[in-house]
Amino acid sequence: MLLLKLAIRNIFRQRRRSLLTALSMSGGYVLCAISFSVSEGSYNNAIRFFTLDHTGHVQIHKGNYLRRPKLHKTIDDPAALSETLDNNDNIEHHTLRVFAPALAYSDTDNTQVNVIGVDPTREKRTSRLAKKVTSGNYISDKVNPDSYYSAMIGTGIATSLNISIGDELILISQGADGSVANDIYIVGAIVGNKDSLDKSSVFLPLDAAQEFLSMQGKIHEVAILLKDESKSREFAASLQKQLPELSIDPWQIVEETFYMTMQADQQGMQAMLFIIIFIVFIGVLNTILMSVLERTREFGVLKAIGTRPKTIVSLITLETALLSMMSFFVGLVFAIPIIAWFAFVGIELPEPVDFGGVQLRFFTGEISTYVFATPLAWIMFFALLVCIPAGIRAGRILPTQAMGSH
């Protein structure tokens, strides 16, 4: 207790030196906190953008459909599976899908497309599909007065076939029973732009796609959106035990290429953060060492009146810890508004940044305990680490040498 009072008195007695030390460390804290916020924000926003775009956090398939998709590898009782998933407290939403390659025709042109059948209501809650409609109306599972289903097409298809809203779209494919699948749909909406991943996709209502492909109520995929996206691996493993007849994979496996790309980008970001932390460390080292050198005569007096070296080391360490905590609170005052601005507003990039095929247009940060606590831990660690050589020097100095210093 006495040592604590002495440390606090020394901090206030040496106000100018303590202020410079605190400002140096608080500046380092702000720099580190912003860097961590931007790093985590860029990484997590890319993941959220990608998983909400179409992948979801967890996917369910039959057998090895994920690696070798075939039309006949279907989940045969989606109604019972949906009921099970609806009763799971960890799941926010889920949607059902079917997939098939097809040829699309207009009056004059044709092109290869990917047919995706989706449950209109569930898909709207689970993915961004409804938000990607650039013109027209989101699909409905009801037919129009002429008994035609509506379809949503990617911008690439609209350009290739020279068709737009209200035009007829002819699809030809192979049915699950081996028959030739063919039907006519009315273009109800255009999705995305020329750079979108969906530029060659045709979205049909689930019932219409099942009828078109002769799938009799079967599906190929269930995409799940979790309440806690960080638990996708644990949830997939748990659900796999509950449904051993199906294949259940987290998004990290479903989109392995994207995940590996993001991991590589994050490692590069961590290397940059290490450089920033090292620069902050040099600043803290210089400030604390200079503080100790300037107080050489003071430590000489303490040694002359019988103060033990261990006590001097403890005093320097305690003063540094207190200054570090003061710097944290000062830095927090400046860091919070800056990080909040990055998190809620961000910076629009002049050119989009590509993450494994996903383009991010805004440079944003993230607010979390990790962002604020990690820089504090690093600065405290470096500050206390610097105390070791500084404290040893102060503890070993001879009173006669110290008293003769300037």
Residue 356: is its pLDDT beyond 50? no
Residue 303: is its pLDDT beyond 80? no
Distant-in-sequence, close-in-space partners of 50: CB < 8 Å, separation ≥ 6: 251, 255, 258, 355, 356, 358
Count the neighbouring beta carbons within 10 Å of the beta carbon of residue 151: 25
pLDDT of res. 344: 83
Interval 196-223 mean pLDDT: 91
Buried b (16+ CB within 10 A) or exposed e, 334-359: ebeeebeebbeebeeeeeeeebbebe
Interval 368-377 mean pLDDT: 85
Q: End-to-end CA distance of the chain: give it in Å, rounded.
A: 31
What average pLDDT does the structure give for the chain? 83
The answer to whether the CB of 280 falls within 8 A of the CB of 31 is yes
Q: Which of 88-92, 128-132, 272-276, 389-393 has the lowest mean pLDDT?
A: 389-393
Closest CA to 60 of 80, 75, 50: 75
**What is the C-alpha to C-alpha distance for residues 192 and 186, in angstroms, rounded to an integer?**
18
Closest CA to 240 of 59, 397, 89: 59
Closest CA to 92 of 44, 141, 48, 57: 57
Residue 266: is its pLDDT beyond 90? no
Residue 287: is its pLDDT beyond 80? no
pLDDT of res. 286: 72
CA 328 vs. chain centroid, Å, equals 26
**What is the C-alpha to C-alpha distance for residues 44 and 77, in angstroms, rounded to an integer?**
34
Enter the pTM of the model.
0.74
| Domain boundaries, given as residue ranges, for the chain | 2-51+259-403, 70-219
Interval 47-54 mean pLDDT: 80
pLDDT of res. 8: 66
Return the higher-pLDDT residue of 122 and 402. 122
Assign 357 a pLDDT band (cuts: 50, 70, 90): very low
pLDDT above 90 covers a percentage of the chain that reads 35
pLDDT of res. 330: 84
